[in-house]
Amino acid sequence: MAEEGGLRFREDWLAEVVEDPIDPERRIVDPHFHYFDESELFPHYRPPELQRDTAGHGIEQAVFVQCHEHRYTDGPEHLQPVGETEWVERLAQDAARIPGQAVQIGAIVGEARLSLGSRIRETLEAHQAASPRFRGIRDVGIWDASPEIDSGEGIEGPNLYGEAAFREGFAELDRMGLSFDAYQYHTQLPFLADLARAFPSATIVLDHLGTPLGAGPYAGRREEVFLEWEKGIRDVASCPNIVMKLGGLAMPWNGFGFHQADKAPTSDEFVAVQGRYYEHAIECFGPSRCMFESNFPVDRLSLSYTVLWNAFKKMARQYSADEQADLFAGTARRVYRLDAIA
């Protein structure tokens, strides 16, 4: 169990809700998970833990997304994030040699501070040298004026993605054909749309359904937030170079309170509360530009992996077979070029 700031994993609590995996033969790519080894909040989470959680749901490949782990502790600061890519590449190679290890790490989304401008090319090239699985970066842009809401390190306003230095760095990323994972709150969605329109050839992935906030000053304002989020999603979806990750709403700061309930949610309860967010995003983007994500182990604060993917499968029933294939694997394979790794 890990605990900090009132957040904790409740193993017995999670184990009380048991569901058999739905459609266990479906081929799935999980396009968003994290390994943790040094985190103060999250416990040890490496290939054995990922394998434990994914068992039963046919997860073939997963995409690691940066989380500030195993950075180099010395050397030039702009190269320190490459330590994480190097570490995950070693874990991926080790996992591939384990008998019965079903989940393979198909791609790595690393970290880089694009505000370094054109100098960022050295960082990106170092990531590429560290792993053939490297596909792009995430430069976290979350910011809110309220001290009750987390803002990204060193970010001083809502529009990091609009700053001149950032865009100079983004141009390098674009020229190298690398993808960009964007993490912003729902209040910042117009800035992401502006970035996408400025770089129409870049592949931009919007993480966590655009993160509609429900904590701090946004608590108790779910309908108001939903309407603002709904409008923002429609705007970013009008940019053909943005794709959507469907997930991440079980994080505590989204305000649904699953992690505080007496009992963990079932998949039906999860769908009843959050289904409209997924439906709106899929309606706006279309299944070929959407992919379900686990965001594990972070979302494990609120529910188990089996329950989460059961909920996804229930939400996907209204779509055709080809559309479901995109939602569960096809979009992720295209965006992260997973076929490039055997």
User: What is the per-residue pLDDT across 137-184, written as a single tens digit (0 to 9) for each?
Assistant: 999 999 999 999 999 988 999 999 999 999 999 999 999 999 999 999
Tens of pLDDT, residue by residue over 56-88, are 898 999 999 999 999 999 999 999 999 999 999
Tens of pLDDT, residue by residue over 315-332, are 999 999 999 999 999 999
- Three-state DSSP string of the chain: CCEECCEECCHHHHHCCCCCCCCCCCCEEEEEECCECCCCCCCCECHHHHHHHHCCCCEEEEEEECCCCCCCCCCCHHHCCHHHHHHHHHHHHHHHCCCCCCCEEEEEEEECCHHHHHHHHHHHHHHHHHCCCEEEEECCCCCCCCCCCCCCCCCCCCCHHHCHHHHHHHHHHHHCCCEEEECCCHHHHHHHHHHHHHCCCCCEEEHHHHCCCCCHHHCCCHHHHHHHHHHHHHHHHCCCCEEEEECCCCCHHHCCCHHHCCCCCCHHHHHHHHHHHHHHHHHHHCHHHEEECCCECHHHHCCCHHHHHHHHHHHHCCCCHHHHHHHHHHHHHHHCCHHHCC
- Report the mean per-residue pLDDT for the chain: 93
Separation between Cα atoms, residue 132 and residue 88, nearest integer Å: 11
**Structure confidence at residue 4 (pLDDT):** 41
Average pLDDT value for residue range 29-46:
88
Q: Which single residue is written with the structure tokens 């230095």?
A: 165
Q: What angle do CA 315, 317, 321 make, to 5 degrees?
A: 130
**Structure confidence at residue 126 (pLDDT):** 98
Cβ neighbours of residue 256 closer than 8 Å, sequence gap 6 or more: 214, 249, 250, 273, 274, 302
The whole-model pTM stands at 0.95
Residue 5 has pLDDT above 70, yes or no: no
- Identify the CA nearest to 297 among candidates 269, 259, 341, 331: 259
Determine which of 109-113, 221-225, 256-260, 297-301 has the lowest per-residue pLDDT on average: 256-260
Report residue 313 as tokens: 């499968």
Q: Which single residue is written with the structure tokens 């999980």?
A: 30
Confidence at 101, pLDDT banded by 50, 70, 90: low
Q: What percent of the chain has pLDDT over 90?
A: 82
Domains annotated on the chain, with CATH: 3-17+26-340 (3.20.20.140)
Q: Which residues pair with 142 in a beta bridge?
A: none
Residue 2 has pLDDT above 80, yes or no: no
Tens of pLDDT, residue by residue over 217-249, are 999 999 999 999 999 999 999 999 999 999 999
